[in-house]
Chains A and B, each alone.
Chain A
Amino acid sequence: MTLTPEIIALLTLDVIFLGLGTLALILSLRIAYRWDYAAVTPLQYRLTKQSTLVAVIIKYIFVLKLPLFLFFIYTCDKLSAVITGAMCASGVVNSIGFGLDLTLFKLFNLYGFGFWLLLHAEDASHVRLAYTRLKLILFALLCVPLFTEIILEIGFFTRLDVSKIVSCCGTLFSAASSSASLSLLFNVDARVWVGIFYLVYTVSLIALWLKSTAGVIVSNTLFLIFALISLIVFFSTYVYELPTHRCPFCLLQKEYYYVGYGLYVMLFTGTFCAVGGGLLASITHTIPYRYWRLSGFFNTAYVVSISAYPLAYYLKNGVWL
């Protein structure tokens, strides 16, 4: 276990989240159980007040989780200078068995809590607070991945061993990878993944144009998955201008002008607006034009900027990697 200032900061905030999250969970379970908008009892009056506390706590957690996600990746990047063999965050993340799960949980929680806030905004502007019970049950469900993430993170940092030798991204993200699913990605021709990526993007645009809620949700979920796969298998090599270097984490380093932060923000915002807006639409039965316009904008921005890399490479060098 190493106690760098960054790890202490992350753990401190984790403990705060755990405390406040538990409080919010207890309150929300009680409110969800006893909630009755029509009642004029002191209890209902008290519950209404308590539900604002739950909302405040969740807003607090979410607003901090956003920058903390980036900070977590940054911390791993910094630790990679200490741990033998690691050259970027992926080596550090994968040095513990559940490191990748932790990252995925973090991502899932961002989406989940982001959607919760959309629902909350909808609820607060509704005359009869129609979605209060729903949003509190949703929060209780989201608490499971939230607490799992916090426990995993504490476990991750306590188990992190700086003297252990780990693999670098060059071996993790290649056909020789020890993970079966990862090596499968590289055995399939990269052009297939890129083709699917552009296809799914087109489908998602069509779904937006047709205003089909289900279509938008499904196509954007697929878009997220295939965007990540094609990024690892194909696009990242053009960012690094090296045919063997495939890594979704090195993008975040100084050598590549921190381009990954911009790319990931575009990708995650775009897909979140689409999926979150879509789920909201299926609850409120209105079309969330604003979110979907944002989604279309960010997804297109992502596709344009990530496609620019291979194109620029081809124009400069006249060959593909």
Chain B
Amino acid sequence: MLFSFRWLLLEYAVRSLFRRFGKNFFIFFILSFLIFILSSVLMIAESIKAELNATLKTLPDMTLQRFVAGKQTLIPVSRVDALLEIQGVGSVTPRIWGYYYFKPAGVNFSVVGLDAYEEPYSATMARLIKDVDWTQRSPSPTMIVGEGVKTILRENYYNDFFNFITPEGQTKKVGIAGVFHSDLALEANDLIVLPKQTAYEIFGMNASDATDIVLKVSANVSEIPTIVAKIIEKFPDLRVVTRDDIRVSYQNIFDYKSGFFLALFCVCAFAFFIIVYDKSNALSSEEKKEIGILKALGWDTDTVLQEKFFESFILSLGAFLFGLATALFYVYALQAPLLRAIFTGYSTLKPPFALPYTLSGSMIVLLFLLSVPVYIAATLIPAWRTSIVDADEVLR
């Protein structure tokens, strides 16, 4: 038989592990801690990627940005008509949006200008403003803010209005009409939506310009590359960002971030495996005696080797399962305090969102491959060295 399985040997290995509890527990503890850190980081990355991909579905088909001298600038709104003439283009909406830096709190608000009669350019935006009475006419302009913005403003004693400072140095008073309640907290938390006219005033922009233009394809999604080519031919200074481009760059960023972490992690793991190698290489006289007795009882080298293999396999598999379980609890039940900062950044207005549960079989395989085989490789040669001990030599 090529790989015969011996249950009694497995039992012997388990008992042998418990007999040297102190030494094995140390290895078990460190190994599960390493696996815990590794799985947490990968799970957080995976989870945020899933959240971003969920919001991605609601984005417009393509976004057009104008570049002058390599820097993004404003697009004349007059180009909208020319774009509508292209076959296959469904709707074209110029957007006016930007960031407003609020100095007292040191945060950036995302300010979006939207008119009541206008069709919202993304499904999320439509959902956000659905419940708010947008059409109410009040003498002064009003805005709708995200929960994070509301909190920050309240901390600075702006309870029902806010004074924007325009580039000309004047104040622009805008009343707070409502607050978003959104499941997609990742994008709505720092958001302020107000009428277009007000947005132009706050940014000090000309009403004939737009920040960028979003474009929807009328029916056939497979026409997107052709439409992109036509737009670029017509306006060479425009850059077209399709939804697919964004998806790819998300994947790249998160693979890069977790890959970078993994590369650092490898150094740490390497140090640990050297300790393991060293520890299992140095046999105590008691262990030597045990092997000697086993050999005298008729065990051959292969059996001892197999027993040693079982030991390291049980130990590393146990540590793997334990580390994985704690990581699951830490990431999804506790929402990964501390570690998620690596991915979400330090911005004050970004944090509150729940990591959605995403655990694929491939992730478990990946974590397994990064832990168990590497540990077994480190114990391979020490195990062999143990197994070739001669009975007469140690028992003498």
**Cβ A60 vs Cβ B380 within 8 A:** yes
**Cβ A6 vs Cβ B376 within 8 A:** no
Chain B hits for A117, CB < 8 A: 2
**Given A9-B369, A81-B251, A121-B2, are A57 and B259 neighbors across the interface (CB < 8 Å)?**
no
**Cβ A12 vs Cβ B374 within 8 A:** yes
A134 in contact (CB, < 8 A): no
Name the interface residues of A1-34: CB closer than 8 Å to any CB of B.
2-9, 12-13, 16, 20
Instruction: Indicate the member of A2, A7, A8, A81 with the most B CB atoms within 10 Å.
Output: A8
A49 to B305, CA, bound (A): 12
**Cβ A64 vs Cβ B2 within 8 A:** no
Name the interface residues of B338-364: CB closer than 8 Å to any CB of A.
362
B301 in contact (CB, < 8 A): yes
Name the interface residues of B1-37: CB closer than 8 Å to any CB of A.
1-2
Stretch at the interface among B159-167, B177-185, B381-389: B381-389
Name the interface residues of B236-278: CB closer than 8 Å to any CB of A.
248, 251-252, 255-256, 258-260, 262-263, 266
A162 in contact (CB, < 8 A): yes
A9 to B269, CA, bound (A): 13
**Given A82-B252, A121-B2, are A8 and B384 neighbors across the interface (CB < 8 Å)?**
no
**Cβ B255 vs Cβ A2 within 8 A:** yes
Instruction: Please pick, from A60, A71, A84, A124, the residue contacting B369 in the complex, using a CB distance under 8 A.
Output: A71
**Cβ B377 vs Cβ A3 within 8 A:** no
**Cβ A60 vs Cβ B377 within 8 A:** yes
A64 to B372, CA, bound (A): 11
A157 to B307, CA, bound (A): 37
A52 in contact (CB, < 8 A): yes
CB distance from B379 to the nearest CB of A (A): 11
Interface residues of A toward B: which range?
A: 20 to 34
**Cβ B365 vs Cβ A71 within 8 A:** yes
| Nearest B residue to A19, CB-CB | B377
Chain B hits for A78, CB < 8 A: 362
Chain A hits for B255, CB < 8 A: 2-5, 82
**Cβ A2 vs Cβ B259 within 8 A:** yes
CB distance from A113 to the nearest CB of B (A): 12
Instruction: Please pick, from B366, B384, B388, the residue contacting A6 in the complex, using a CB distance under 8 A.
Output: B366
A6 to B252, CA, bound (A): 13
B145 in contact (CB, < 8 A): no
A71 to B302, CA, bound (A): 30
CB distance from A131 to the nearest CB of B (A): 15
Bitwise interface map of A from 83 to 96 toward B, beta carbon under 8 Å scored 1, else 0: 01000000000000
A185 in contact (CB, < 8 A): no
Instruction: Indicate the member of B258, B362, B373, B374 with the most A CB atoms within 10 Å.
Output: B373
CB distance from A148 to the nearest CB of B (A): 21
Chain A hits for B365, CB < 8 A: 67, 71
CB distance from A160 to the nearest CB of B (A): 12
Instruction: Please pick, from A12, A56, A162, the residue contacting B370 in the complex, using a CB distance under 8 A.
Output: A12
Chain B hits for A107, CB < 8 A: none
A6 to B374, CA, bound (A): 15
Instruction: Please pick, from B369, B376, B387, the residue contacting A52 in the complex, using a CB distance under 8 A.
Output: B387
A256 to B370, CA, bound (A): 28
**Cβ B373 vs Cβ A3 within 8 A:** no
A194 in contact (CB, < 8 A): no
Closest 8 CB pairs of A and B: A3-B259, A4-B255, A49-B388, A53-B384, A16-B377, A8-B262, A9-B369, A9-B370
